[in-house]
Structure 1
Amino acid sequence: MKVEVCRVSETSLIIYFGHSIDLELIERIAAFSHMVQERYQDKIYEVIPSYTTLLIEYHPLKIDIKELMQWCQSQADQIVNNKTLSSKSKTVTFPVYYHPEVAPDLQNLASEKQLSVEQVIQLHSQREYTVCAIGFAPGFAFLGTVDAQIATPRHAEPRLKVAKGSVGVADQQTAIYPQETPGGWKIIGNCPLELFNINSEPMMPFEVGDKVRFEPISREKFLDLGGVV
């Protein structure tokens, strides 16, 4: 696999690690993200990992772009081909209330897939997901991949309002809506926890490369944790 390091502007460069989504590759991109931040610290503004790329925003007066590009090429090649990569990822568990009163698509999805609601819940919650990218809205993590039995397309027409905490499925991905926003994902549950707080450190409980699990909870527990029906 050949890594490409390309300059985007006077203050940014992008690294292409591959051309297709691969959960193992995402973990390597996440590990490289940590390496860049540890080495350059105050010389970079932001590091943005995604499915197959990493964007680096840097301070042009504090960094030698040629040195940065050479270092990125060398280290990225090594990390992609390292067979014994040590991961710094953590596992985060989110409580989810799976019930039609907070999940308008749960029953329909079960019917479409010829499954019971309980089977949909089991298939969704008994799987570990990888944070593939963070975007669309602050704290919105794209998680892959769901069991093929519950993979489903987005709604043809997005809802104007999707409740905060909604847990959705779209194609082979799942996610939690951190705020009330428009959205087209099929909603099968709700998480009562805060996913983004600009005044917290860190602002989000996860980052790209981390693992996520979902824990089914009762209505009572959901309300106790601050959930809204």
Structure 2
Amino acid sequence: MKISPVSEDSVLITLADDISDTLPRHIARLCNLIDASSDDWLVDLVPSYTTLLVIYDPVRIDFRGVEAHLNSSLRKASETVPDSPYGDSSGQVTHDIPVYYSPETGPDLEWIARNNRLSVDDVINFHSGRKYTVYAIGFAPGFAFMGEVEPAIAAPRKDTPRARVPAGSVGIANRQTAVYPKVSPGGWQLIGRSPVSLFDPVNLSLLNVGDLVSFHAVSRERFLKLGGEL
């Protein structure tokens, strides 16, 4: 692990060189520890795949003070698993998200099936057949990068992104999967759509780094009944 200055008001904690399923939970615990033990010098925490960006108020603390505090938090994170809204290895927060998988809502579903020499049902079963770890939140508010999908359904990003991807669209890019929380441009291969709202200005993101997500298939009728839009 390494702590490096980034600017006059931020430092970067690098916890590993490679992505792993356990690392997001560790980063989430570290976020909780730093947030709980810091006073008014802490401005923001930005977790990512293998790093955590810590933004602080340079008027209230200097780099050496931040470094000492973070080293203490890192030691505690490696020794204990505190009670945390992010969950832990035994009580991890899990979300079950319904998806209407179909060419109607997933215009790339049939292409992924053909490209990987699978049936459409195979793609759906592979995608909904495992749990995914939230690695990072970014690109847009509430957009959670999750992984990893089965290699059998991995698919590259589109060469030309769509100008408009509907809210709730479920996509695959390489071995990652995600749900678009709002209407936006996007280049992921779309396989379905969820009626679940992933972000609002009051409660912010439904998903957090370290959470687990599972998807289950629902019918067109059920999708509409749950508030989905076509």
Shared fold (TM-score, shorter chain, > 0.5) = yes
Residue 109 of structure 1 is matched in structure 2 by 112
Residue 163 of structure 2 is matched in structure 1 by 160
Shift in Å at residue 41 of structure 1? 5.0
Match of residue 68, structure 2, among 67, 70, 92: 70
Residue 170 of structure 1 is matched in structure 2 by 173
Match of residue 94, structure 2, among 91, 96, 104: 91
Residue 12 of structure 2 is matched in structure 1 by 14
Q: Which amino acid aligns with 2:103?
A: P
Query: For 1:48-70, what per-residue CA distance to the aligned partner results, in whole angstroms no more than 9, with x for missing partners?
Result: 10001100111223335423212
Take 2:215 and 2:155, find their aligned partners in 1: how far apart are those partners?
19
Take 1:121 and 1:14, find their aligned partners in 2: how far apart are those partners?
38
Q: CA contact under 8 A between 2:34 and 2:73: conserved in structure 1?
A: no
Match of residue 48, structure 1, among 26, 46, 53: 46
Q: CA contact under 8 A between 1:4 and 1:73: conserved in structure 2?
A: no
Q: Which amino acid aligns with 2:212?
A: K
Identity %: 43
Q: Which amino acid aligns with 2:53?
A: L
Take 1:167 and 1:122, find their aligned partners in 2: how far apart are those partners?
14
Take 1:57 and 1:161, find their aligned partners in 2: how far apart are those partners?
33
Aligned residues: 223
Q: For structure 1, which runs of at least 5 residues remain unmatched after alignment?
A: none
Take 2:148 and 2:39, find their aligned partners in 1: how far apart are those partners?
32
**Aligned ranges 1:15-30 → 2 under 5 Å:** 15-30=13-28
Shift in Å at residue 224 of structure 1? 1.0
SS in 1 for 2:61: coil
**RMSD across aligned C-alpha pairs, in angstroms?**
1.7
Take 1:21 and 1:78, find their aligned partners in 2: how far apart are those partners?
22
SS in 2 for 1:89: coil
Take 2:173 and 2:148, find their aligned partners in 1: how far apart are those partners?
10
Residue 215 of structure 1 is matched in structure 2 by 216
Query: What TM-score, normalized by structure 1, do the two folds share?
Result: 0.91
Residue 225 of structure 1 is matched in structure 2 by 226
Query: What TM-score, normalized by structure 2, do the two folds share?
Result: 0.91
Query: For 1:52-90, what per-residue CA distance to the aligned partner results, in whole angstroms no more than 9, with x for missing partners?
Result: 11001112233354232123124325635x5x7561630
Q: For structure 2, which runs of at least 5 residues remain unmatched after alignment?
A: 83-87
